[in-house]
Amino acid sequence: MAETLNLFRYAHFAQLPEPYRDLGPGERAERIERARDCLGDSTLILGHNYQHEEIYELADFTGDSFSLSKRARDAEVENIVFCGVTFMAETADILTGGERNVIIPSREAACPMAGMAEMVQVRQAWDDLTQVLDPDEIVPVTYMNSYADLKAFTGRMDGAICTSSSADEIFEWALDSGRKILFMPDKHLGHNTAYDLGFRDEDWVKWNPWHPEFGGTSREAVEDARFILWDGMCQVHDRFSLEHVAGMRERYPDGEIIVHPECPREVVDAADFAGSTGQIIDFVHEAEDDTTIAIGTEKHLIEHLQRNTPEAKQVIQLCGDACLDCNAMRQIDPNYVTWVLEELVKGNVINRVRVDEEDREWSRVALDRMLEIGS
């Protein structure tokens, strides 16, 4: 099959049936509870930390993408309802060997960053790079925020997947092998991780997959670099700037600023801490009373922390009202969750995410490497 650009992998969006469109919070809470009672232990609901309040509060387990993937792998259930984005549901299908019904309530929940490294572009980049380098000199390290075909490519090329909480350890593993790292698709996470490990500007080049000439860089620069950073990013995190950090420092000179490592390098550098969504939650839990903590990440997570943190600590958004919610995560509307659960009660599996056998096998190689190395 010819490879083409294909951002939405799940083209057949099942429309939410009419009777579910106008359910209010009270009615759907009751219906969800009833459906869960019927389904009992057969069904696990996983929720990413960026989900709506309603979903976050009803999920059996919430967490960052690393912890959710482990939960999915170890779940001895028939159905996993994954309230997150499609690459996370794909990962759950891969790690459960296709033996569970992994359901995403809405298939429109597609992370734009995952769509920024498409296989047709990655193959072109690999062909270009291996004109200059021996294939044994490069190792792909791919962010969890990617589709299964790229994860499979990573496995085939003896690379590994990482999440924001395991990136340091995976980069160290890759560097120990003496190879250059081709990191896809988030340039900021790649940049921040390399920087953490002591590398500086002369050690990386940026690869622009839309540039017609050798990724917009040169053969010499690639030969000299330790890292080739794919030019992708998350629009939610890319908008944080040094002005936001400076404004917060002025208003709260004793406050703490914590950000997600998908933020630009200068923002991470100016912050007090950067970590995955799970590590951000841990930081807030462990902070002393009377601390003001400004957080630079997707706004639902900050709202969960504002609701659930004792009043003695103040949790605020790093960029005030300008903080964004993630449009992909937002597609998981609670009415969709009601629908897929009630259909499961009737024995119908809606919106199951299935990765093809070969991609599943090779992605698993790259994911297992992450799970072995990452803590």
The answer to whether 136 touches 346, Cβ cutoff 8 Å, is: no
**Is residue 262 involved in binding ligand 13P (CB under 6 A)?**
yes
Q: Which is nearer to ligand SF4, 43 or 62 (CB)?
A: 62
Which of 145, 146, 276, 363 binds ligand SF4 (CB under 6 A)? It is 145
Give residue for tokens 């839990």: 285
Which of 81, 181, 236, 281 binds ligand SF4 (CB under 6 A)? It is 236
Give residue for tokens 């990440």: 297
**Is residue 329 involved in binding ligand SF4 (CB under 6 A)?**
yes
Question: CB under 5 to 8 A by kind: which of ligand 13P, ligand SF4, none does 259 bind?
Answer: none
Amino acid (one-letter) located at 269: D
**Is residue 163 involved in binding ligand 13P (CB under 6 A)?**
yes
**Is residue 164 involved in binding ligand 13P (CB under 6 A)?**
yes
The HSE-up count of residue 219 (CA atoms within 13 Å, CB side) is: 7
Report the C-alpha gap between 149 and 308 in whole angstroms.
Answer: 38
The answer to whether 89 touches 82, Cβ cutoff 8 Å, is: yes
Lay out the site mask for ligand 13P across 44-63 (x = CB under 6 A, - = otherwise).
Answer: -----x--------------
Nearest-approach distance from CB 173 to ligand 13P, in angstroms = 18
**Is residue 138 involved in binding ligand SF4 (CB under 6 A)?**
no
Question: CB under 5 to 8 A by kind: which of ligand SF4, ligand 13P, none does 125 bind?
Answer: none
Question: CB under 5 to 8 A by kind: which of ligand 13P, ligand SF4, none does 335 bind?
Answer: none
Report the C-alpha gap between 50 and 88 in whole angstroms.
Answer: 13
Nearest-approach distance from CB 330 to ligand 13P, in angstroms = 13
Binding segment (CB under 6 A) for ligand 13P, from list 15-23, 64-72, 152-160, 366-374: 64-72
Nearest-approach distance from CB 145 to ligand 13P, in angstroms = 5
Phi, psi of 259 (to 5 degrees): -140, 165
Under 8 Å CB-to-CB from 170, ≥6 apart: which residues? 141, 160, 161, 162, 369, 370, 373, 374
- Tokens, residue 114: 């995952």
Indicate the angle between helix axes 86-95 and 357-373, nearest 10 degrees: 90
3-class DSSP state of 222: helix
Report the C-alpha gap between 125 and 67 in whole angstroms.
Answer: 31
Interacting residues toward ligand 13P by CB under 6 A = 49, 64-66, 145, 163-164, 234, 260, 262, 276-277
Interface positions with ligand SF4 (CB under 6 A): 85, 111-113, 145, 234, 236, 262, 298, 326, 328-329
